[in-house]
Amino acid sequence: MKSSPGRRSAIKNILTGAIAAGTLSSYKPAEQKPYHLKGNINHAVCRWCFKDIPLDTLCAEAKAMGIKGIDLVGPNDWPTLKKYGLTSSMCNGAEISIPKGWNDKQYHQALIDNYTDMIPRVAAAGYKNLICFSGNRNGMDDETGWANCAEGLKKILPLAEKHGVIISMELLNSKLTHKDYQCDRTEWGVTLVKKLGSPNFKLLYDIFHMQMDEGDVIDTIRANYQYISHYHVAGVPGRHEPDDTQELYYPAIMKAIKETGFTDFVAQEYLPKNPDKKIASLKEAIRICDV
């Protein structure tokens, strides 16, 4: 996405504390017209999309509008979330990077070490979701990718099962944003879930990414919901607000998710078009997705 900061660099900056340095410890959200959420969806928001807003500010505003979780934050930021009664709805900090993942054996030991350290920390903090990535293909065929991922992940899944932590591999598009990424189709991810056969390995279904690479979002969710632990929301094209300016009709998608009996988190992961109205934009996105 040339027009926006890269997700990888944004997450890296957050984890190293660059954002935390500007937090406001006593922020109080501005008065907002009350909007009562229906309670069917557990809403969250991805930190990196609002990285220029101090975390205290984002947490206070999120809490005020009924959001329950902040996605893609690591241990350094968990105390701030706890201060506002929010959960780390999708933890990170164990991965190496999006291109360097479980499908490449040269990264296995580093990943095993990272996840062995992070899984107990996630559980001790009272959280349960931890992200991971397949990595890029680099000429690798599907069978090799599945075999390599399974070999490495089997080394950490007993620990995840022991601590009740779900390792969630994100489905990302390889068409534009993450070229050459291997877990770029729901079918590919579901095949890996089945090969592993653990209730503690599932998929993070990113609706934006899967609309770009395969489409047929609602039917795909209905057919594969049992393999999905988490959802990300953004509009297509452009990764902006999930409103009526783009091709996905989110009220119908959210209704389909609700009808599967899903009770975990749906996180907003879009880039607000107006930099001066980000909080108002987030509130509207939550309203649209609250069914």
User: Between residues 233 and 32, which one has the greater pLDDT?
Assistant: 233
What is the domain count for the chain?
1
Q: What is the pLDDT of residue 33?
A: 52
Could you please report the per-residue DSSP string of 89-145?
EEE-SS---SSS-TTSGGGHHHHHHHHHHHHHHHHHTT--EEEE---B-TT--HHHH
Nearest-CA neighbor of 225 among 179, 263, 195?
Answer: 263
For residues 19-35, average pLDDT: 45
Q: Would residue 27 count as lying in a domain? A: no
Q: Would residue 7 count as lying in a domain? A: no
Q: Would residue 24 count as lying in a domain? A: no
Q: Would residue 20 count as lying in a domain? A: no
Pairing of strands 69-73, 228-233: unpaired
* 29 has pLDDT over 80: no
Q: Would residue 18 count as lying in a domain? A: no
Q: What is the pLDDT of residue 25?
A: 42
CA distances from 138 to 29, 101, 173 (A): 47, 12, 15
Those residues with Cβ within 8 angstroms of residue 269's Cβ, 6 or more apart along the chain or in another chain = 45, 46, 49, 71, 206, 208, 232, 233, 234, 239
pTM: 0.88
User: Between residues 9 and 114, which one has the greater pLDDT?
Assistant: 114
Q: What is the pLDDT of residue 35?
A: 60
d(CA 54, CA 47) in angstroms, rounded, equals: 10
Residue 70 in contact with residue 45, Cβ under 8 Å?
Answer: yes
Is 279 buried (19+), middle (13-18) or exposed (0-12) by CB count in 10 A? buried
Of 17-31, 197-211, 223-237, the range with the lowest mean pLDDT is 17-31
How many percent of the chain have pLDDT more than 70?
88
10 Å Cβ neighbour count for 213?
19
Residue 69 in contact with residue 42, Cβ under 8 Å?
Answer: yes
Q: Would residue 138 count as lying in a domain? A: yes
Name the band, by pLDDT with cuts 50, 70 and 90, for residue 157.
Answer: very high
Domain assignment of residue 152, given as a range: 42-289
CATH of the domain at 231: 3.20.20.150
Q: What is the pLDDT of residue 36?
A: 83
CA 126 to centroid of chain Cα atoms: 18
Q: What is the DSSP letter of 181?
A: B
Q: Would residue 17 count as lying in a domain? A: no
Mean residue pLDDT across the chain: 91
Name the band, by pLDDT with cuts 50, 70 and 90, for residue 7.
Answer: low
Q: What is the pLDDT of residue 291?
A: 96
For residues 227-235, average pLDDT: 98
Q: Would residue 26 count as lying in a domain? A: no
Of 15-24, 61-70, 121-130, 257-266, the range with the lowest mean pLDDT is 15-24
* 79 has pLDDT over 90: yes
Using DSSP, state whether 154 is helix, strand or coil.
coil
